Amino acid sequence: FEYQIDCPPELMDYDIPTMILQPFVENALGHGFSEISAGGLLKLSIREVQEDEIEIVLSDNGKGYKAGNKLKTNKHKNRSMALNLIEQRLKLLSAEGQGIFSFRIQDRQELDGETGTQVIFNINRSNSQ
């Protein structure tokens, strides 16, 4: 697989909670690219949406979020433990006044007709202490 990182120099020192992106990168590599033998592309883009708010977009050209979920057995149909843990952690960070954190997962087929998954994180520090 190949990867691309697009981050303006002024955002290189922006504080992102530890290990928040890791499960999504791991899913792209382990699951999204599991059925392709070559040509996998993982993109990470970071941009400032407004003052004190950034958007992080992690996208891949793997099989896609919905396609991957269709293949799960009944044992794994529940929402991923990693997703639940990340959601809980982001709620705790928000409650502690470290900012407002959110994320959403989209199937690229619905967005742009391409295969793959896109995860979008928003981090807003304007309300942090």
Tens digit of pLDDT for each residue in 59-112? 999 888 765 555 444 445 455 787 888 889 888 888 887 788 889 999 998 888
Q: By the 8 A CB rule, do 101 and 93 touch?
A: yes
| DSSP label at residue 15 | -
Q: What is residue 128's predicted lDDT score, i.e. its pLDDT?
A: 47
| CA atoms 63, 69, 75, 80: torsion sign | positive
Tens digit of pLDDT for each residue in 99-123? 888 899 999 988 888 889 999 999 9
d(CA 24, CA 105): 10
d(CA 122, CA 100): 8
d(CA 74, CA 79): 11
Tens digit of pLDDT for each residue in 27-55? 888 888 888 878 899 999 999 998 889 99
The three-class DSSP label of residue 101 is strand
Identify which has the larger pLDDT, 11 or 97. Answer: 11
**Other Cβ atoms within 10 Å of 97 Cβ, number:** 10
